[in-house]
Structure formats: C-alpha cells, structure tokens
DNA sequence: AGGAATACCTACCAGTCGGTACATTACTGT
DNA sequence: ACAGTAATGTACCGACTGGTAGGTATTCCT
C-alpha cells in the first residue's frame, strides 16, 4: 500500500520511455485472454509496446509481471467485489457482487471472464506458484464474504439456521461459474439472468418496500 | 459411435505393445491436471508408458489425443451428467447432476475439477480449436438441460413463470463453479453443501413424501 | 521360409520458450 | 564539460516445444 509498489522511480539516469501503468494494463489484457502460460513474452512485449529487456528491468520477470497485473485487475475491472461487502443487507451484498460480476465478466471493452479464474486454472508445474496465488485470491474472497454473512446472521438479516460458510462457497461458485460462462460467450444479459435466479432465492431480508 | 473410434485394429503386422484404453486413461489424467497446453508430450508419454512415435501412430497428434481423452472423460468420470436428464422430476435431474458433480470433481482417485472446464479455458491461439471444442461441450450440456427443463415446465413440474433457459444456464454455472472450487481444494462434502444450497431453492416439485 | 505389414526406439528437426549480455542512448548532478 | 546512472535495442543463450525420419523388431499370411 506504499511506494514500494512499482519501483521507487529514480531521479537520475535515462528516463523510462513508457507508462508503466498503461503497459501493465496491456499486459493484463494479454494474460486475461490467454492465461499465464498461454501468454508468451513476445505477446506481452508487443501489447505493451516495449522490448524484453525493458520488461525485465521494469517488472522483474514474467511471474512478477503477472502478479502485478492481478493487483491491477483487483483494483480496476474487479473493483466491485470488496466494496459490495459494505452494503447494509446481505441481499444487497450478494446483489452487487453478482451484478458487478455480470457486467465485468461480459464487458465488451475487456476480454471475457475473470483472470483470477482463468489465469492459471490447470497448468504445468512451472506455473504452480502462480496457480496457488490465484487460488489464494479466490479463497480470500470467499472468506471475506463468509465473514460478512456471519455478521448478517448475527444481525438477524439471515435466518438462524443459515450457514454462512456454505452460502459464501455457493456464491463464489456461482461467480466463478459466471466467469466460465462468459469465456464461453455468454453476454451480460445472460449473466444477469443467472444473478437474478440466485437473488430470487436468497434467504436474507429483501431491501424493497417496507 | 462405431469402430472408427480408436483405429481399426489391423490383423497383420507387429501387435501393439500397450493397451490403448489404459494409455488414454493415463493421458486423460495428465490433461486433467495440467490442461491441454500445460501437458507436454514428454509428460504424456511418461504417463502413458510409450514413446512419442507410438503416440503419434496410435492417436494422430496432441490435439486428436486430447479430443479422444475428452470422449473417454464424458463416458467415465463425467458419466453422471446425461443420464441425470432421465429422472422423473426436474428436482431429481438437478439433484443428480449436482451431487454427481460433487463426487466426480472431488474424487480423490482423480485430479480435482473438470477437464471440460479447465482443459483449455484461457490459452494461446494455437489451442483455439481445442478451446472451442470444450466450449461446445459445455454448451451442449446446457442445451440438453434446457430442453429437459422445458419438458418439465410443460408437464407442470416447473411453474408456469419458470424460464428453462435461465435455469439451465444457472445450473451449468453452478456446476462449472463447483469445478473451479474443486481445483482450489474444496472436498466432496463442501461441494455437496453447494449442491444442497441450490436444491433447497429449486422451484420444481419435490419428490419427497406425498 | 519368406514377404508384407505394422509397431518400436533412437536420434533428430525447426521453432519457440523464458531470460540475459552488451553496447548504446538519454538523462541528472556537479 | 564530464562522470554517474539508468533505460533502450540487438543479438544471443540453453532448454524445451510439438512433430518426424529411418532403421529395427515382431507379427500374420502364404
């Protein structure tokens, strides 16, 4: 959360000829579309508009570049997730997650799906670290939602027999399934229908009229 | 659906020294765990216990080998899906799909997840054909379920305002999400909880008592 | 016994992978 | 003006990718 993020930025020497953030954005697009292993260095360099040595000097290596793009992904295209937790009712929390995912996963301005799901779902041993980093990201989301649903249960928003852990896992499964659907060609309206189907059966209090 | 499946099997010449079906099973395991692109030919050969030229002579090339393993996958580990469509009520159809998926995706005797989901979700251009073949498989399942739910609606099993297409997409999303959860380490009991959550809210008639 | 047919293994192919050495260029501080 | 520092582009590295040529071994059919 500090300046350590993306290189200290030196005051002397030849200045960098490209915008790191924009380059990172381009790299994200490539990883998003092709996955960690499917994205080659020439692919990345071409999209980023730089050469390999510049990439390595600025971002370390392919693995570190990927992790930085994921950070960017969480702060931009996927920025709907954690803020959704702050809604007043569990219904609204889940509603914002599902609808946000529908919009983000099928946004025509971005590759389809979710890079945290499809970035390294099945891969060779050499990508194990990246794969497990993504697993940890997904799990972190599930844990955060679970905690929020426990709070909802304590508040009486969710019924006494509700199981926050199971509900959180269910919602994350739907979100991840929506990502798969998006990569298969589902559009935003179709994903919103999935969201609606989930919401129609949500056990928590409705915010609407009364 | 005929003998064209896996080479005509000649009557003359040196007999094949390995069991094609067993070799295919081993190849499936590798593709399942590493995905289409993450599985290298040495990986496959080692698991199958044969050399590259034997692999090519028997199965064509990597792409054709993959497609044959998918065929095997649908007939074996994933054999729960289409038969589930033949249950009497939509509830039972969905129940068998979800519970079958929970067992299959988290079977400790097999790699976690579903090869049709994780085999080629995001990949380089060279794997486009395989990726689209898997998309088609997923879509075929969705269409089949949709058709079955339309029948359920016509029978009065599902309410008149039910939308079979949306419900089918929703169930497929859950199934695919369960596969992602399994690759992330979820066990069978955890996946069954997801299945239960879906079933508790299913709009179709319950088979139980009455 | 001898051909014909097929599978097997070793060794190899061109192309691509992630990653880097090195010389050059562009800037800052004195 | 000049040293110090850092980014750039070219050209390369060994390892690995999917795929194959070609010689050898094992079988069936006559």
pLDDT tens profile B101-155: 999 999 999 999 999 999 999 999 999 999 999 999 999 999 999 999 999 999 9
Tell me the shortest Cα–Cα distance from B3 to chain A, in angstroms: 32
Q: Choose among A145, A164, A165: nearest CA to A85.
A: A145
Average pLDDT of the segment spanning B40-60: 98
A3: in domain: no
Residues B109 and B186 in one domain: yes
Whether the Cβ atoms of residue A199 and residue A167 lie closer than 8 Å to each other: no
Q: B-chain residues within 8 Å CB-CB of A190?
A: 169
pLDDT above 90 for B210? no
CA–C1' distance B119–D8 (Å)? 39
Q: B-chain residues within 8 Å CB-CB of A136?
A: none
CB B169 to CB A32 under 8 A?
no
Q: How many distinct structural domains can be found in chain A?
A: 2
Band of residue A8 on the pLDDT scale cut at 50, 70, 90: low
- The runs of H, that is alpha helices, within chain A are 20-38, 41-48, 52-59, 62-75, 81-84, 90-105, 115-118, 128-154, 164-183, 188-200
CATH number reported for the structural domain that contains residue A31 in this entry: 1.10.10.60
A12: in domain: no
- Give the domain extent around B137: 79-200
DSSP string for B166-203: HHHHHHHHHHHHHHHHHHTT--HHHHHHHHHHHHHT--
Residues A84 and A101 in one domain: yes
pLDDT number for residue B11: 81
- Contact positions of strand D to protein Cβ (< 7 A): 4-11, 16-22, 25-29
Residues A37 and A128 in one domain: no
pLDDT number for residue B5: 44
Tell me the shortest Cα–Cα distance from A31 to chain B, in angstroms: 9
pLDDT number for residue A11: 85
d(CA A193, CA B147): 18
Band of residue A3 on the pLDDT scale cut at 50, 70, 90: very low
d(CA B66, CA B68): 5
Whether the Cβ atoms of residue B170 and residue B188 lie closer than 8 Å to each other: no
List the structure tokens of A195: 């969201």
d(CA B50, CA B27): 11
B5: in domain: no
What is the pLDDT of chain B when averaged over all its residues? 95
Tell me the shortest Cα–Cα distance from A175 to chain B, in angstroms: 7
Mutation site, A42, A172, A173, interface B, largest B CB count within 10 A: A173
pLDDT in tens, B134-146: 999 999 999 999 9
CA–C1' distance B17–D27 (Å)? 11
The protein residues having a beta carbon less than 7 Å from any atom of strand C are A 11-15, 37, 39-43, 52-53, 56, 61-63; B 7, 10, 12-18, 50-54, 57-58, 124
Residues A126 and A57 in one domain: no
Residues A133 and A164 in one domain: yes
Residues A51 and A146 in one domain: no
**Unique residue bearing structure tokens 């081993």:** B26
Residues B124 and B165 in one domain: yes
Residues A98 and A123 in one domain: yes
Whether the Cβ atoms of residue A85 and residue A145 lie closer than 8 Å to each other: yes
pLDDT in tens, A94-120: 999 999 999 999 999 999 999 999 999
Residues A68 and A159 in one domain: no
CB B121 to CB A35 under 8 A?
yes
CATH number reported for the structural domain that contains residue B170 in this entry: 1.10.357.10
Residues B124 and B159 in one domain: yes
Q: A-chain residues within 8 Å CB-CB of B47?
A: none
CA–C1' distance A13–C26 (Å)? 7
Residues A55 and A122 in one domain: no
Q: Choose among B105, B70, B97, B104: nearest CA to B81.
A: B97
Band of residue B32 on the pLDDT scale cut at 50, 70, 90: very high
Phi, psi of B15 (to 5 degrees): -75, 150
| Candidates B119, B127, B177; nearest CB to A176 | B177
In chain A, whose CA is at the least distance from the CA of B200? A201
């Amino acid at each position: 959360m500090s300046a350590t993020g993306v290189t200290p930025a030196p005051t002397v020497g030849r200045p960098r000829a490209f915008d790191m953030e924009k380059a990172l954005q381009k790299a994200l697009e490539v990883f998003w579309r092709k996955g960690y292993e499917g994205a080659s260095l020439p692919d990345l360099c071409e999209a980023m508009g730089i050469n390999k040595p510049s990439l390595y000097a600025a971002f370390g290596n392919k693995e570190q570049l990927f992790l930085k793009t994921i950070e960017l992904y969480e702060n931009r295209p996927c920025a709907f997730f954690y803020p959704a937790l702050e809604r007043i009712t569990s219904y609204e929390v889940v509603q914002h997650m599902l609808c946000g995912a529908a919009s983000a996963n099928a946004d025509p301005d971005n590759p389809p799906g979710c890079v945290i799901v499809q970035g390294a779902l099945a891969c060779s041993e050499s990508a194990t670290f990246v794969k497990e980093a993504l697993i940890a990201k997904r799990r972190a989301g599930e844990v955060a939602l679970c905690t929020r649903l426990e709070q909802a249960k304590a508040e009486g928003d969710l019924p006494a027999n509700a199981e926050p852990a199971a509900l959180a896992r269910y919602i994350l499964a739907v979100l991840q399934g929506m990502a798969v659907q998006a990569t298969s060609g589902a559009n935003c309206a179709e994903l919103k229908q999935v969201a609606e189907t989930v919401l129609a059966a949500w056990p928590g209090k409705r915010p609407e009229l009364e």
